[in-house]
C-alpha cells in the first residue's frame, strides 16, 4: 500500500508541475489577461480528463474488457451527427450553432436521452447481456457515422469547415461559461456516484461472484452505465470527441499501479489524464505553434497503443 501512495504522490507532483508550467511559462507580465484564460483551459482539461478517465475505467470494469472504451456506445458518433444536422438544416449562423451554451446543453441532453432510451429498450425485459448492449452500440454508432458522412457530402463547403472543426477535440477556444457549467454538473454527478464506488471492486470479479457476494448487479450496472454516458456526454460536448484517450490512461493506470482497488486505479487514470492533456496542450502551443490539435496527437498514439494491446491480448490467448 505504501508503494501505491508513493506512486500516486509522484504522479500528482508531475501533474502539478505540468499545470504550473502551462499557467506561468512565458507570461511576460500579462497576468491579468493571459493567466485567467490559461486557468480556464486547465480547468477544462481537468474536467475532460476526469470524466473520460472515470468513465473508461468503470466501463471496462463492467464489460471485463480493457480494450473497450465508452465511445463504442455511439455517443461520439451521435455528437458528430448532431453537429452536422444542425449546420446542414439550420445553417452556421443559427443560434443553436453560434451560441456555445445552447449548443452545449442541447448536445448533452440529446446524448443522455439517447443513452436512456437505449438502456431502457435493451434492459426492458430484465437482465440482458452486456455484450448485446455493446453490439447494438457498435451498430448504432456506425449508422450515425454513415448518416453524418451523407450530410457532410451534401453540405456547403464553407459550412463543412465548421463541422470539420468540431470533429476533433480542441482546447484552444474554450468558453468559460461552459467550463463552469460542466464543473457544476460533474460535481453533482460525483456526489451521486460516490456511493457506488465500493461496488466496483466486486463487479470486477464478474456477474456470478458479485451476485453471490450480495451486490445488486443489474441495478448497479444500469446506474454506472448511465453515469458513464453522462460523463462522456459532458466531455464530448465541452471539447469534442477524443476516441482513444480513455483507452490510454486507463491501461497505463492498470500497468503502473497493478492493483484491483478502483479508488487507486481511477485516481491514477485521472492524474495521468491531467498530465497528458496539460502537457500535451503545452507541446501543441509552444512546440507545434497551433499547427495541429491535441486530439490528433492523442488519436495517433492511441491508435498505435490500441494495436499493441490487441497484439498483446492475442499473444496471451
User: pLDDT digit string (tens) for 229-259?
Assistant: 999 999 998 888 887 899 899 999 999 998 9
- 28 vs 99, higher pLDDT: 99
The residue among 65, 80, 197 whose CA lies nearest residue 133 is 65
What is the arithmetic mean of pLDDT over 152-172?
83
Radius of gyration over every alpha carbon of the chain, rounded to an integer in angstroms: 20
The percentage of residues in the chain with a pLDDT greater than 70, rounded to a whole number, is 95
The residue among 254, 235, 258 whose CA lies nearest residue 107 is 235
pLDDT at position 127 over 60: no
Helix 262-286 / helix 2-24 crossing angle, nearest 10 deg: 20
Lowest mean pLDDT among 22-31, 67-76, 80-89, 276-285: 22-31
Q: How far is CA 9 from the centre of its chain?
A: 24
Lowest mean pLDDT among 100-104, 156-160, 192-196, 278-282: 156-160
pLDDT of residue 316: 61
User: Average per-residue pLDDT in the chain?
Assistant: 87
- 287 vs 185, higher pLDDT: 185
pLDDT at position 315 over 70: no
Q: What global pTM score does this model have?
A: 0.91
pLDDT of residue 29: 66
Rounded CA separation 183/197 (Å): 20
pLDDT of residue 317: 55
Rounded CA separation 205/285 (Å): 43
What is the arithmetic mean of pLDDT over 68-90?
89
Lowest mean pLDDT among 47-56, 121-130, 241-250: 121-130
Q: What is the 3-state secondary structure (H, E, C) of the chain?
A: CHHHHHHHHHHHHHHHHHHHHHHHCCCCCCHHHHHHHHHHHHHHHHHHHHHHHHHHHHHHHHHCCCCCCHHHHCHHHHHHHHHHHHHHHHCCCCHHHHCHHHHHHHHHHHHHHHHHHHHHHHCCCCCCCHHHHHHHHHHHHHHHHHHHHHHHHHCCHHHHHHHHHCCCCCCCCCCHHHHHHHHHHHHHHHHHHHHHHHHHHHHCCCHHHHHHCCCCHHHHHHHHHHHHHHHHHHHHHHHCCCCCHHHHHHHHHHHHHCCCCHHHHHHHHHHHHHHHHHHHHHHHHHCCCCCCCHHHHHHHHHHHHHHHHHHHHHHHC
pLDDT at position 126 over 70: no
How many CA within 13 A on the CB side of residue 54?
27
pLDDT at position 211 over 80: yes
Residues near 125 by beta carbon (within 8 Å), at least 6 away in sequence: none
Amino acid at each position: 500500500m505504501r508503494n501505491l501512495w508513493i506512486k500516486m504522490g509522484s504522479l500528482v507532483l508531475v501533474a502539478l508541475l505540468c499545470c504550473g508550467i502551462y499557467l506561468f511559462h512565458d507570461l511576460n507580465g500579462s497576468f491579468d489577461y493571459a493567466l485567467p484564460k490559461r486557468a480556464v483551459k486547465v480547468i477544462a482539461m481537468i474536467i475532460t480528463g476526469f470524466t473520460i478517465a472515470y468513465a473508461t475505467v468503470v466501463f471496462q470494469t463492467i464489460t471485463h474488457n480493457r480494450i473497450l472504451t465508452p465511445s463504442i456506445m455511439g455517443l461520439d458518433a451521435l455528437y458528430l451527427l448532431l453537429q452536422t444536422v444542425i449546420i446542414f438544416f439550420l445553417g452556421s449562423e443559427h443560434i443553436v450553432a453560434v451560441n456555445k451554451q445552447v449548443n452545449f446543453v442541447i448536445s448533452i441532453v440529446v446524448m443522455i436521452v439517447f443513452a436512456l432510451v437505449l438502456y431502457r429498450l435493451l434492459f426492458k425485459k430484465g437482465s440482458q447481456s452486456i455484450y448485446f448492449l455493446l453490439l447494438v452500440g457498435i451498430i448504432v454508432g456506425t449508422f450515425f457515422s454513415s448518416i453524418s458522412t451523407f450530410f457532410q457530402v451534401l453540405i456547403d463547403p464553407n459550412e463543412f469547415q465548421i463541422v470539420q472543426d468540431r470533429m476533433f477535440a480542441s482546447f484552444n477556444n474554450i468558453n468559460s461559461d461552459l467550463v463552469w457549467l460542466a464543473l457544476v454538473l460533474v460535481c453533482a454527478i460525483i456526489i451521486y456516484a460516490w456511493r457506488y464506488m465500493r461496488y466496483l471492486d466486486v463487479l470486477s470479479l464478474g456477474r456470478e461472484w458479485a451476485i453471490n457476494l450480495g451486490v445488486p448487479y443489474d441495478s448497479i450496472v444500469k446506474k454506472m452505465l448511465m453515469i458513464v454516458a453522462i460523463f462522456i456526454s459532458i466531455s464530448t460536448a465541452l471539447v469534442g470527441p477524443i476516441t482513444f484517450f480513455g483507452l490510454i490512461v486507463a491501461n497505463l493506470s492498470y500497468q503502473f499501479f497493478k492493483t484491483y482497488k478502483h479508488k487507486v486505479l481511477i485516481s491514477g487514470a485521472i492524474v495521468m489524464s491531467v498530465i497528458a492533456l496539460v502537457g500535451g496542450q503545452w507541446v501543441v502551443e509552444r512546440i507545434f505553434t497551433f499547427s495541429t490539435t491535441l486530439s490528433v496527437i492523442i488519436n495517433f498514439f492511441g491508435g498505435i497503443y490500441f494495436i499493441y494491446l490487441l497484439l498483446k491480448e492475442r499473444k496471451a490467448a
